[in-house]
Amino acid sequence: MKSNPGHSMHRKSFCPLMCSLLCFVGPMAVAALGQAKQEVVTIPDTPAASAIAVSDLNGDGRADIALVEASAQKSPTLVPVFRLHLLFQKDGKFSMPADRVIPIGVTAPSANAAASLVIGDFDGDGRNDLAVSIRGTRTLSVFLGSERFEKEHPSKYANDSGAGGLAVGHVNKSGRADFLTGAAWRQWQGNGRFGEAYFAGVGRNDNWRSTLADMDRDGTDDVVFTTYWSGKLDVPANNRIRIYFGPFLKMQILQPADAAQVVTLNSPFTASDQPLLGQVMVGDLNDDDQRDLVVPAPDQTLVYLQNSPTGFSDNADPTVILKDVAPLLVTDLNSDRLCDVVFLAADQASIVWWLQQRDNPLTSDRVKACPRVAIPRKIVAAASGDVDGDGRHEIIATLTGGGLAIVTPPLP
């Protein structure tokens, strides 16, 4: 397997660990910037960005940065312009202006529309590619590394819910890259073509944000949804977790009966009339070879541990609720092949790390005792990657108003 210095998507061909890495509502290191290791270093002059991903983008084996900027127009009659900014690592440093600035050919009513960004080899040519979705636009855009990211391959799909978020993986063994934006499934078929399909909900089309992960370890990704329905509900059913177990072979309107199994999990927010759960993150949190779920919720984190070997029980409640922290990333920070979790404190003034150890279960008391690092401003999006090659991941976060904070986790 080709080494990947940064993580920004979950696909079995890229990440051998049982961790799924996702952008925060929306994955670098300090020595790489020509400075001694510090807890936090800022790059102040990058544009305000709503999405970030980290990986090798120019084939030199070093981690690079991709950002999605939404530039508001001065005239109220003009729509915002979305751009990709690519920062290549040179001599262990990053600097502005960006090495590449690539316009994205979609429009949205507001520059505040959240973007999602992933990096991965979508066409199997050994080069990393980029995919971008903008919340509310029902679009997906792919940029291929073989084309130097110069050509946009767009897909606009009416069945895309516009819920935000982007997940990439393989829901069958065709070898083609599968993209999930909400309940919309697109499959890259080459030559600028996408197959299109849709996952219908149970009783109503309430599948909202989506994640791809091989929950049952059968070699193909399953689909994990949060649920939301804007209409009136006789029984509280919003903000639940719903897992569709695959594989999924046909591009069509997929009903729950097309899944091998559907499991639904409860949350404390089922009675709300607002979509309160963020995009689900996945990782083995207790070293039992089962993938568990980490779910962002208002000022807290919901954790669902998958019971070994029986899996999740239908209508199960969260195993653990962690107050006053929201998850940023689930990843292996220290290369020990165990999934760790990076949290944002509820006051948004610090980052918290939980490093998985066999005697360190994920509990509220443990998280309260975890190391914290103060950050200069509120975080918009975050990613992780080993930029300086020391085997440890650093966290890179885009900040409100622009700039990046590069945070080095403290050694245990």
Instruction: Tell me what pLDDT residue 86 has.
Output: 98
- Name which of 70-79, 132-141, 218-227, 342-351 the model is least confident about: 70-79
Q: What's the mean pLDDT in 293-309?
A: 93
In terms of residue numbers, what domain contains 319? 6-407
Instruction: Tell me what pLDDT residue 18 has.
Output: 61
- Residue 359 within any structural domain of the chain: yes
Instruction: Tell me what pLDDT residue 275 has.
Output: 95
CA–CA separation, 298 vs 279, rounded Å? 13
Q: What distance lies between CA 265 and its chain's CA centroid?
A: 21
Summarize pLDDT for 210-246 with one digit per residue, the tens: 999 999 999 999 999 999 999 888 889 999 999 999 9
Task: Give residue 114's pLDDT band: very low, low, confident or very high (50, 70, 90).
Answer: confident
Q: What is the DSSP string of 98-139?
A: PSEEEEE----S-TT--EEEEEE-SSSSSS-EEEEEETTTTE
- Residue 337 within any structural domain of the chain: yes
- Residue 1 within any structural domain of the chain: no
Summarize pLDDT for 168-215 with one digit per residue, the tens: 999 999 999 999 999 999 999 999 999 999 999 999 999 999 999 999
Task: Give residue 274's pLDDT band: very low, low, confident or very high (50, 70, 90).
Answer: very high
CA–CA separation, 140 vs 134, rounded Å? 7
Number of residues that this document lists for the chain: 412
- Residue 305 within any structural domain of the chain: yes
Q: Which residues contact 185 (CB under 8 A, 6 or more apart)?
A: 171, 178, 179, 196, 197, 198, 199, 248, 251, 254
CA–CA separation, 336 vs 18, rounded Å? 12
Task: Give residue 2's pLDDT band: very low, low, confident or very high (50, 70, 90).
Answer: very low
- Name which of 7-21, 279-293, 355-369, 386-400 the model is least confident about: 7-21
Structure-block tokens of residue 142: 């792919």
Of 295, 274, 140, 285, the closest CA to residue 224 belongs to 295
User: Which residues on neighbouring strands pair with residue 344, listed in sequence order?
Assistant: 326, 351
pTM (predicted TM-score): 0.90
Summarize pLDDT for 280-290 with one digit per residue, the tens: 999 999 999 99
- Residue 75 within any structural domain of the chain: yes
276 pLDDT higher than 80? yes
76 pLDDT higher than 80? no
- Residue 412 within any structural domain of the chain: no
Instruction: Tell me what pLDDT residue 167 has.
Output: 97
Task: Give residue 91's pLDDT band: very low, low, confident or very high (50, 70, 90).
Answer: confident
Summarize pLDDT for 121-170 with one digit per residue, the tens: 999 999 999 999 988 888 999 999 999 999 999 999 988 877 888 999 99
Instruction: Tell me what pLDDT residue 32 has.
Output: 40
More confident residue, 142 or 388: 142
Q: How many separate domains does the chain show?
A: 1
- The CATH number covering residue 291 comes to 2.130.10.130
1 pLDDT higher than 50? no
